[in-house]
Amino acid sequence: MSRWLGRAGSPFLRAVFLLSIPLLCFRQASAQLEELAEFEGVNVPFTLKHEDRVMEKGTFDFIVLRNLPNTFMLRIKKRGKSVALISGGEKIDYPMQGSAVALERDPDIPKFAKLSMKKVPGENVLYVVVETGKQARSCPYHKIRFKLEYLE
């Protein structure tokens, strides 16, 4: 007889143990993608291209996700449907990275999440830059840049 089956109260403990394992596995799996910021109704005045997918100009929702360990993704949605998932966001350090007091006092870091887009006309490249801000629940003081192509 094994140690798990040996005592009178063990069926209860065994049931608790067997029920807790799937719950722990589910919690681990659900925590894989963490939402850092969401921007709804972002107007994009040009056509975007990512891999083989072309997204006509219009209004999109941008959601920044973090996949453990620290890989960033950008989910683009249109009318509630996911249009693209872009992985490989590049983390850009602030000039005062490392000093928490200096980061808190830096006026260039926004208080709340901020999205900006910068075009590089000669290369047809669009950079989507997301700053999580000082008040972010998880991952404050992050600046993440995603690279997309745009079509003229």
Q: What is the pLDDT of residues 109-135, one digit of tens each?
A: 888 889 999 998 788 899 999 988 887
Q: Quote the pTM value.
A: 0.71
What does the pLDDT look like over 26-75, one tens digit per residue? 555 545 788 888 999 999 988 998 888 899 999 999 999 988 777 889 99
Q: What are phi and psi of 48, to 5 degrees?
A: -100, 150
pLDDT tier for residue 18 given thresholds of 50, 70 and 90: low
The residue-averaged pLDDT of 6-21 equals 65
pLDDT tier for residue 24 given thresholds of 50, 70 and 90: low
Q: What are phi and psi of 111, to 5 degrees?
A: -75, -40
Residue pair 110/134 in contact (Cβ under 8 Å)? The answer is yes
